[in-house]
Amino acid sequence: MFRLALDAMGGDYAPLQIVRGGILALKEFPELFIYFVGRKEEIEPILEKEANSLKGRFEIVDTPEKIEMDEPPSRVLKKKNSSLFVSAKLVREGKAQALVSAGNTGAVLAVGKFVIGAIEELERPSIGVAFPTPKGKTVLLDVGANVDVKPRHLVQFAVIGHTYAEEILGIKNPRIGILSIGEEEGKGNELVKETYPLLKETKLNFVGNAEGRDIFNGNFDVVVCDGFVGNVVLKASESLSFAILRMIKEEVGKSFLAKLGALFMKPALLSLKKKADFAEYGGIPLLGAKAPVMITHGRANAKAIRNAIKVAMEFYNHHFNDVLRENLQKLAGEVLKKNSSLSP
Amino acid sequence: MFRLALDAMGGDYAPLQIVRGGILALKEFPELFIYFVGRKEEIEPILEKEANSLKGRFEIVDTPEKIEMDEPPSRVLKKKNSSLFVSAKLVREGKAQALVSAGNTGAVLAVGKFVIGAIEELERPSIGVAFPTPKGKTVLLDVGANVDVKPRHLVQFAVIGHTYAEEILGIKNPRIGILSIGEEEGKGNELVKETYPLLKETKLNFVGNAEGRDIFNGNFDVVVCDGFVGNVVLKASESLSFAILRMIKEEVGKSFLAKLGALFMKPALLSLKKKADFAEYGGIPLLGAKAPVMITHGRANAKAIRNAIKVAMEFYNHHFNDVLRENLQKLAGEVLKKNSSLSP
C-alpha cells in the first residue's frame, strides 16, 4: 500500500479539482491510499458524491487553516494547522509516503525543506525541471530551492540530477553539464570555476560547461546551476513560450488567410502549448527530500494532480532515495568527503 | 561628418555582405564616412564595382590579419594587425567615431573593453539586449560583458539602461527592475539583497525586483543583472525561441491540414522568427564604451550591417555618452560616491 498525503486546499481550483485528481488516481492505481487533507466540510461532499465505491481507500484529515497563494514561507511554517503543514507532518511521521500539493511553490518548498527535510547524506533538497528538447528532455536543477550555493552543493545536485534522469526519465548514463557562459573549462563565474574540477573528479558522465542554449538543444541530459540562475531561466522560459504563442495569435489575427491557417494548425499549436507548459506533466519534484514531494502548478486540474500522484508513485516504486544514497557514495563520495564542511 | 570604422572581415558572410551593408548605409546617410578595415585585395573589387559613385566617402584600411569566429579574447588582443583590432584603434585615436563588427562577440567585447575602454565615470561597459514584449521592449543588461559584479556595478548598469531606454528606444522615465527570484524586497541572492537598497536610494524610477517572467511581459523597461545570469538568459531565450519554431514545424509536418495551415501562416511565422532573433535589428550595443560599439550577429547580412550603422549613428547623434555622464551624476552620483572603491 502506497499512502499519499494530498493537500486538498492548495491551488487555484482547490478543493474540487484536487479531490477529483485524487479520485482519478485511486481508480487507476489499486495500491494507492490517499489522505485528503483539508476542510472536511468542503471535501466530504465531493467524495460522498464521486468516490462512494472507493471507501476504505482514503481518509479525510480535517484541517481548519489554509495557506494563501501569496503567503511567505516564514508564515507558512507557523501555520501548523494548515492542510499543507499537516500533509507534510503525515509524511514526516511515516504515515504517508509522499506529498502532492498545488499550493504556492515557496510554501511547499518550505515544508519540504523544514518539515520533511533532506535525506541525511544531503545538505539540501533541490528542485529540477525536465525541459522538452528536440531530442528528449533536459533536466535543469536547481530551479529555486537553493539560492546561494557552494561548489559541493552543485556536485550534490549533479548526482541528484543523474539519479532523476536515470531512474525516472529512463536516460542511461546521462550527460551532465554545469551551466556557464562559454564552453571551455575556465569560462564562467567564480562558482563555476571552482565547481568544474570537482565535477571532473566525480565518476559522473561530466561533459563540461553547458551554455544557456544547451538547456533546449538536447546536448545535455542534466544541467546544474544555483537556484537563482535556475529560477530566472525557468520563469523567463515559461514567460517567453507564452509570449511567443501570444505573438503567433496576434500575427495570425492580422490576415484572413493566416487565420484560416491557424484553424488548420490548431491541434499542432495546442500540443505545442502543452509542451511549453513545463510543469504540466506531473509537476516539479523536490529531489532529495526524505520522501517524494511533488509541487504542481497552482492552476493544476484533476488530470495534473493525477499525473503528479503517478510520478510520486514512480519515485517510491523506484526506491529513488536508496538509489540516490548509493549514487552519492559511488559517484561522488570521495569528492564530497574532501569538500565537506560543517557549516553548509 | 560621422566617421565609422567597419570591421569588414568579421562575420560569416564577410567581406561581401559587410561591405555591401556599408554601401547601403553610405547611400542612405549623406553625413556618413566609412573606413572599410580588412584585406584590401578582397574589399577593393566590391567597392570598385558597387560604390563607384561614392568615392571620397570611404577609405580602405588594409589589414593582413583576421580574427576567427572561435578565437579566445586573449589571443584577439595580441593580433594587433587584425581588422577588428585596427578598427578599434581608429576609434581610440579619434579617427573614427564608432565601431561596427559582425565578428565573434567575445572578440568585439575584448577590443571594446580593452582597446576603446569605458568612459572615465564608469568602471565597466555593459552589453544590453532589448527583448521584444507584447507592450514594447525590455532592456536586459548586462548580458555577458561582466561576470562577477558588485552592487555598485549593477547601479551603474541601471543608469546605463535608463539612458539607453530614454535616448535610443524613446521610453520616458523607464521603469527599472533588478532581476531576482520573488517580487518582494529581501528576496534574491546576496548580490540582489545588497543592491536593492542602493537602487532605491538613486533617483531612478526603480520599481523593485523583476522575476524571470518580467523580461518578456512588459512590466519593466530595464532589468539589470550580472553578466553571468544575463548571458544565460539571453542564450536560453534565443535557443528556446528557435526550439519552439522548430517544434511548430514538426507538429505541422504530422498533418496535411496543418501543413496547409502553415502555408497560409507563413508570413506570420516569418515575422515572428524575426522578432525572436533578438539581435536581428541593429545588433547589440556595448554601452558605456568611449564610443559606440555595435556587435552584430555573426550571420549578419548587408541589411543587418546597415541597421547596426544606423543605430551607431543614433548613439552618436544623441550624444549618448554625454547624457550618460550627466545621468550617472544626476541620478546616482551620491550612491556611487558612497559605494565607490579603488579596487573594482
Residue A275 has pLDDT above 70, yes or no: no
Residue A255 touches partner B, C-beta closer than 8 Å: yes
Which of A302, A304, A305, A313 minimizes the C-alpha distance to A274?
Answer: A304
Query: Is B329 inside any structural domain?
Result: no
Q: Which amino acid is at B179?
A: L
Q: Which amino acid is at B82?
A: S
Contacts of A153 in chain B (CB under 8 A): none
Query: Is A146 inside any structural domain?
Result: yes
Same domain, yes or no, for B135 and B273? Answer: yes
| A35: three-class secondary structure by DSSP | strand
Same domain, yes or no, for A56 and A21? Answer: yes
Query: Closest to B239 (Cβ–Cβ): which among A212, A225, A226?
Result: A212
Separation CA B319–CA B323 (nearest Å): 6
CATH code of the domain containing B43: 3.40.718.10
Last residue of a domain, one of A260, A278, A296: A278
Separation CA B208–CA B177 (nearest Å): 5
Query: Is B263 inside any structural domain?
Result: yes
Task: Give B143-152 pLDDT, tens digit per residue.
Answer: 988 998 999 9
The residues near A342 (Cβ < 8 Å, ≥ 6 apart) are: none
Query: Taking a contact as any Cβ pair under 8 Å apart, which residues of chain B between 285 and 324 contact chain A?
Result: none
Give the bridge partners for B174, in sequence order: none
Separation CA B155–CA B169 (nearest Å): 20
For residue B64, count other CB atoms closer than 10 A to its CB. 11
C-alpha cell at B96: 573614427
- The strands making up B206-210's β-sheet, listed across from edge to edge, are B58-62, B32-38, B2-7, B98-101, B293-295, B284-287, B126-133, B136-141, B222-224, B176-179, B206-210
Contact A32, A313 (CB under 8 A): yes
Q: How far is A271 from chain B (nearest CA, A)?
A: 8
Query: Taking a contact as any Cβ pair under 8 Å apart, which residues of chain B between 209 and 248 contact chain A?
Result: 211-217, 225-229, 231-241, 243-244, 246-248
Q: State the pLDDT at residue A278.
A: 60
Query: Closest to B232 (Cβ–Cβ): which among A179, A257, A262?
Result: A179
Q: Average pLDDT of chain B?
A: 90
Q: State the pLDDT at residue A340.
A: 79
Contacts of A217 in chain B (CB under 8 A): 239, 243
Give the number of A-B residue pairs with CB atoms closer than 8 Å. Answer: 196
Please give the residue that has the higher pLDDT: either A283 or A98: A98
Q: What percentage of chain A has pLDDT greater than the value 70?
A: 91
The verdict on a CB contact (< 8 Å) between A258 and B267 is yes
Query: Is A339 inside any structural domain?
Result: no
The verdict on a CB contact (< 8 Å) between A265 and B263 is no
The residues near A249 (Cβ < 8 Å, ≥ 6 apart) are: A262
Q: State the pLDDT at residue A343.
A: 42
Q: What is the mean pLDDT of residues A109-127?
A: 93
Same domain, yes or no, for B242 and B294? Answer: no
The residue of chain A with its CA nearest to that of B211 is: A232
Give the H or E element holding residue B133: strand B126-133
Which of B91, B17, B86, B8 minimizes the C-alpha distance to B50?
Answer: B17
A147-184 as b/e: b if 16+ CB within 10 A: bebbbbbbbbbbbbbbbbbbbbbebeebbbbbbbbbee
With bands split at pLDDT 50, 70 and 90, how would you rate the model's confidence at A344? Answer: very low
Q: How far is A333 from chain B (nearest CA, A)?
A: 28
Separation CA A253–CA A247 (nearest Å): 10
Please give the residue that has the higher pLDDT: either A243 or B202: B202
Same domain, yes or no, for A229 and A256? Answer: yes
The verdict on a CB contact (< 8 Å) between A262 and B265 is yes
Query: Is B341 inside any structural domain?
Result: no
DSSP-based helix, strand, coil % in chain B, nearest 5: 50, 15, 35
Residue A172 touches partner B, C-beta closer than 8 Å: no
Contact A183, A211 (CB under 8 A): yes
Separation CA A128–CA A131 (nearest Å): 9
Same domain, yes or no, for B4 and B34? Answer: yes
C-alpha cell at A290: 526524505
Q: What percentage of chain A has pLDDT greater than the value 90?
A: 72
Separation CA B47–CA B67 (nearest Å): 22
Contact A91, A98 (CB under 8 A): yes
Separation CA A161–CA A166 (nearest Å): 8
- pTM for the structure as a whole: 0.88
Number of separate domains in chain A: 2
Same domain, yes or no, for B95 and B6? Answer: yes
Our measurement of the distance from residue A285's CA atom to the centroid of its chain's CA atoms, rounded to an integer in Å, reads 3
Same domain, yes or no, for A150 and A270? Answer: yes
With bands split at pLDDT 50, 70 and 90, how would you rate the model's confidence at A323? Answer: very high
- Strands A222-224, A176-179: pairing is parallel
Q: How far is A52 from chain B (nearest CA, A)?
A: 42
The verdict on a CB contact (< 8 Å) between A212 and B236 is yes
Contacts of B194 in chain A (CB under 8 A): none
Same domain, yes or no, for A236 and A309? Answer: no
Please give the residue that has the higher pLDDT: either A281 or A12: A12
Contact A159, A125 (CB under 8 A): no
With bands split at pLDDT 50, 70 and 90, how would you rate the model's confidence at A43? Answer: very high
The domain of A95 spans: 1-124+288-315
Separation CA A327–CA A335 (nearest Å): 13
Task: Give A53-87 pLDDT, tens digit per residue.
Answer: 999 999 999 998 888 877 888 888 999 999 999 99
Mutation target among A181, A241, A257 for the B interface, most CBs of B within 10 A? A181
Residue A272 touches partner B, C-beta closer than 8 Å: yes
Same domain, yes or no, for A233 and A300? Answer: no
Same domain, yes or no, for B170 and B263? Answer: yes
Q: State the pLDDT at residue B230.
A: 96
Q: Tell me the ipTM for this assembly.
A: 0.85
Q: Which residues of chain B have pLDDT under 50?
A: 342-344
C-alpha cell at B98: 564608432
The residues near B334 (Cβ < 8 Å, ≥ 6 apart) are: B201
Residue A70 touches partner B, C-beta closer than 8 Å: no
Q: State the pLDDT at residue B117.
A: 94
Separation CA A300–CA A18 (nearest Å): 8
Task: Give A209-241 pLDDT, tens digit per residue.
Answer: 999 999 999 999 999 999 999 999 999 998 888
Q: How far is B30 from chain A (nearest CA, A)?
A: 36
